[in-house]
Amino acid sequence: MVRREVHWQRQRAWGALDGICSRERGRARMELDEGEDGGSVKGPRDLRICLLVIARDCAFRQQHRQKDSTNQEVPLGTVILMLPSCSCCLAPWMLPRPSLSLLPRFCSFLPFATMSSKTSTFHLQQPLNYRAGARIQPVDGSHSEEVYEPATGRVMGKFLFSGEKEVDLAVQSAKAAFKIWSQKSGMERSRVLLEAARIIREQREEIATMETINNGKSIFEARVDVDISWQCLEYYAGLAGAIAGQHVQLPGGSFAYTRREALGVCVGIGAWNYPFQIACWKSAPALACGNAMIYKPSPLTPISVVMLAEIFTQAGVPNGLFNVVQGGAATGQFLCQHRDVAKVSFTGSVPTGIKIMEMSAKGIKPVTLELGGKSPLIIFSDSVLENAVNGALMANFLTQGEVCCNGTRVFVQREILEAFTEEVVKRTQKIKIGDPLLEDTRMGALISRPHLERVLGFITQAKEQGAKVLCGGELYVPDDLKLKNGYYMRPCVLGDCRDDMTCVKEEIFGPVMSILPFDTEEEVLERANNTTFGLAGGVFTRDIQRAHRVVAALQAGMCFINNYNISPVELPFGGYKMSGFGRENGRAAMEYYSQLKTVCVEMGDVESVF
């Protein structure tokens, strides 16, 4: 696969070199053939190809006629992962040191990370705050945090947390942009969102690659996340022009109407499992309704949302409409308690969600909370076994099991328990683990070392409480020495589980499936609902009446029949009970990013009792 990718990139570059002077074309062709260091290509982390991809040779020629004054310095032995921020180039995603000085004069490229050719470690580039249409350092950033690459366990770099002053500047910038944006028509906002979606599609590979580097998930999944992201923007672009109120006829020819209005400056606080996608889920409906947004990503995954901010700017939003502040709990507190913030949307853990509610309540701010889950997946004996197995794997092992709506409590009717378990174990053992940048990898690295140890701790505790490890559940060390310190584990299937076990009651947020037998429909429904969570639930059966009966009885905000973990942007996403409230996606999300105004119109004389 790597060789095919190399060949494709060579052909792409050669095609773009038509019209460039023979000396430069020959030099670029030589570099493409030999590689920067003359070595062989073994995989994405060993890629040494000089990609001199220029769409407009006139700009290239003009560059050679002028003396280069950019003086951009890059350490020897590095290649650059670039984000193209204009449409005139063919989106090269890896460029060599000799070519860097040729590009900034006619095409504004922004490096997010460099990669050492000796260690294959990606190095984060500062700054990562985004305010008023530009990347900036926080004015009061004092505390710095290290960012790790999960695949290698190496430090990518450091970034500064935002203090109260930086938060206030971001809010004031967003307020100014809101005054402009909220006065635009729905169709005007729609065109900008459609342009942002187009840019995301165009930059799919760059965004997915950066998401994989910073999050650890496979490049295969990261591409799907990016596709869902641009689809989300397209969906809300379609709704932006359809925001409407209601007309009510009153006696005597008078009437009333309602209108939906933007809230103002909204805050989005994201999670680390889907950094780019969650940012789109929150920002798309917010901007479609006419709001501004300040977004705080998880400190573990601070990078890709900055790419989204630049895309919004390039698409044409007013400067400041989508700002990014980096930081931890204190930064989040400053945002939630700021008097000019109108709404908070949070995705994360239950304990943090409770704190978000408490802080927002002091300002009477509406909140949307998308929190944790311990969802049931119920498999009846009449199910198509292959479909049920596929559903269980999808319900547990996407994104290394780091998914809030995963169906980790797999209830299997006793008649098919043995056959189902045997097939699930066999399929789980075949899951390809390793370098997330390889095309055939299906499970990458978990987000951090502490989280990996936490997940393994749940498995140890499960064994102590009587569960049986049917497969996996231990550290995995890839053959590639560059990955030896990455955060990998083998996906785990637990048997002999009981409802009172910790692994069945608490959210593990890792690749751990718990299988529990059941006998009757009434029994399994009572057990499935015996949880403080209520995010999702699923059922596999050929009996369509039973399927609808079961999902009607499940206390969960999202239910699946004969499938699991599909989340089209057209459908509302959210939970019951301690899994939160409010909805992301679907038309319902528009209601949570707007407020309703009632207007009464009197068409006759006004009477008074006084």
pLDDT in tens, 397-453: 999 999 999 999 999 999 999 999 999 999 999 999 999 999 999 999 999 999 999
Residue 585 lies in a domain: no
Q: Provide the β-strand partners of residue 83.
A: 110
Catalytically annotated residue among 370, 423, 521, 584: 370
3-state secondary structure of 88: coil
3-state secondary structure of 234: helix
Residue 33 has pLDDT above 60, yes or no: no
Least confident of 142-151, 203-212, 272-281, 296-305: 142-151
Taking all residues of the chain, what is their mean pLDDT, rounded to a whole number? Answer: 85
Question: How far apart are alpha carbons 320 and 169 in whole angstroms?
Answer: 10
Q: Provide the β-strand partners of residue 409.
A: 376, 514
Strands 580-581 and 576-577: unpaired
Residue 82 has pLDDT above 80, yes or no: no
485 in Cβ contact with 465 (< 8 Å): no
Domain edge (last residue) among 344, 371, 398? 371
188 in Cβ contact with 194 (< 8 Å): no
| pLDDT for the residue 227 | 98
Residue 30 has pLDDT above 60, yes or no: no
Residue 68 has pLDDT above 60, yes or no: no
Q: Provide the β-strand partners of residue 261.
A: 595
Cα torsion through 112, 220, 298, 82, rounded to 10? 10
User: What average pLDDT does this structure show over 338-360?
Assistant: 98
Residue 535 lies in a domain: yes
Residue 441 lies in a domain: yes
Question: How far apart are alpha carbons 529 and 555 in whole angstroms?
Answer: 6
| pLDDT for the residue 13 | 40
Q: What are phi and psi of 484, to 5 degrees?
A: -65, -25
Residue 389 has pLDDT above 60, yes or no: yes
For the chain, the straight-line distance linking the first and the last C-alpha, in angstroms and rounded, comes to 85
| pLDDT for the residue 85 | 35
3-state secondary structure of 163: coil
Residue 16 has pLDDT above 70, yes or no: no
Residue 132 lies in a domain: no
The helix or strand, by DSSP H or E, that contains position 552, with its residue range, turns out to be helix 544-553
Per-residue buried b or exposed e for 369-399, using 16+ beta carbons within 10 Å of the residue's own CB: bbbbbbbbbbbbbebeeeebbbbbbbbbbbb
CATH of the domain at 296: 3.40.605.10
Percent of the chain with pLDDT over 70: 80
Residue 150 lies in a domain: no
| pLDDT for the residue 462 | 99
Residue 318 has pLDDT above 60, yes or no: yes
CATH of the domain at 436: 3.40.309.10
> Tokens representing 97?
């040191």
The helix or strand, by DSSP H or E, that contains position 413, with its residue range, turns out to be strand 409-413
Question: How far apart are alpha carbons 526 and 228 in whole angstroms?
Answer: 35
Q: What are phi and psi of 76, to 5 degrees?
A: -60, 150
Residue 257 lies in a domain: yes
3-state secondary structure of 454: helix
Torsion 407-408-411-417 (CA) sign = positive
| pLDDT for the residue 122 | 66
DSSP letter for each residue of 127-161: --EEETTEEE--TT---EEEEEETTTTEEEEEEEP
**Nearest Cα to Cα of residue 342 among 307, 312, 310, 367:** 367
Report DSSP state, residue 407.
Answer: -
> In terms of domains, do 321 and 212 share one?
yes
> In terms of domains, do 366 and 382 share one?
no
> In terms of domains, do 234 and 345 share one?
yes
Task: Give the chain's domain count.
Answer: 3
> Tokens representing 281?
């889920």
| pLDDT for the residue 113 | 59
> In terms of domains, do 98 and 247 share one?
no
Own/partner pairs, 241-248, CB within 8 angstroms, 24+ separation: 241/185, 241/186, 241/187, 241/189, 241/190, 242/186, 243/186, 243/288, 243/289, 243/590, 243/594, 245/596, 245/597
Residue 101 has pLDDT above 70, yes or no: no
| pLDDT for the residue 71 | 39
Question: How far apart are alpha carbons 233 and 198 in whole angstroms?
Answer: 9
Domain edge (last residue) among 119, 151, 185? 119
Q: What are phi and psi of 92, to 5 degrees?
A: -70, 140
Report DSSP state, residue 252.
Answer: G
| pLDDT for the residue 516 | 99
| pLDDT for the residue 554 | 99
Question: How far apart are alpha carbons 225 and 207 in whole angstroms?
Answer: 10
Residue 237 lies in a domain: yes
Q: What are phi and psi of 343, to 5 degrees?
A: -160, 150
Number of other CB atoms surrounding residue 253 within 10 Å: 10
> In terms of domains, do 507 and 424 share one?
yes
Residue 80 has pLDDT above 50, yes or no: no
> In terms of domains, do 233 and 301 share one?
yes
3-state secondary structure of 288: helix
> In terms of domains, do 196 and 246 share one?
yes
Report DSSP state, residue 43.
Answer: S
Number of other CB atoms surrounding residue 460 within 10 Å: 11
In order of 377, 479, 550, the CA distances from 529 in angstroms are: 11, 43, 11
**Nearest Cα to Cα of residue 327 among 483, 165, 446:** 165
> In terms of domains, do 360 and 387 share one?
no
| pLDDT for the residue 142 | 77
216 in Cβ contact with 151 (< 8 Å): yes
> In terms of domains, do 354 and 380 share one?
no
> In terms of domains, do 189 and 337 share one?
yes
Residue 19 has pLDDT above 60, yes or no: no
Report DSSP state, residue 318.
Answer: P
What's the residue count for the chain?
610
> Tokens representing 591?
């209601």
Domain edge (last residue) among 371, 394, 414? 371
Q: What is the pLDDT of residues 253-269, one digit of tens each?
A: 999 999 999 999 999 99
| pLDDT for the residue 124 | 76
Residue 229 lies in a domain: yes
Question: How far apart are alpha carbons 406 and 533 in whole angstroms?
Answer: 12
181 in Cβ contact with 290 (< 8 Å): yes
Residue 246 has pLDDT above 70, yes or no: yes
Q: Which residue matches tokens 């008078």? A: 254
Strands 247-249 and 255-262: antiparallel
Rg (CA), the chain: 26
| pLDDT for the residue 32 | 37
> In terms of domains, do 280 and 381 share one?
no
> In terms of domains, do 339 and 386 share one?
no
Question: How far apart are alpha carbons 151 and 214 in whole angstroms?
Answer: 9
- 464 is a catalytic site residue: no
Residue 54 has pLDDT above 70, yes or no: no
Total-model pTM: 0.83
User: What average pLDDT does this structure show over 466-495?
Assistant: 98
Domain range for 421 is: 376-578
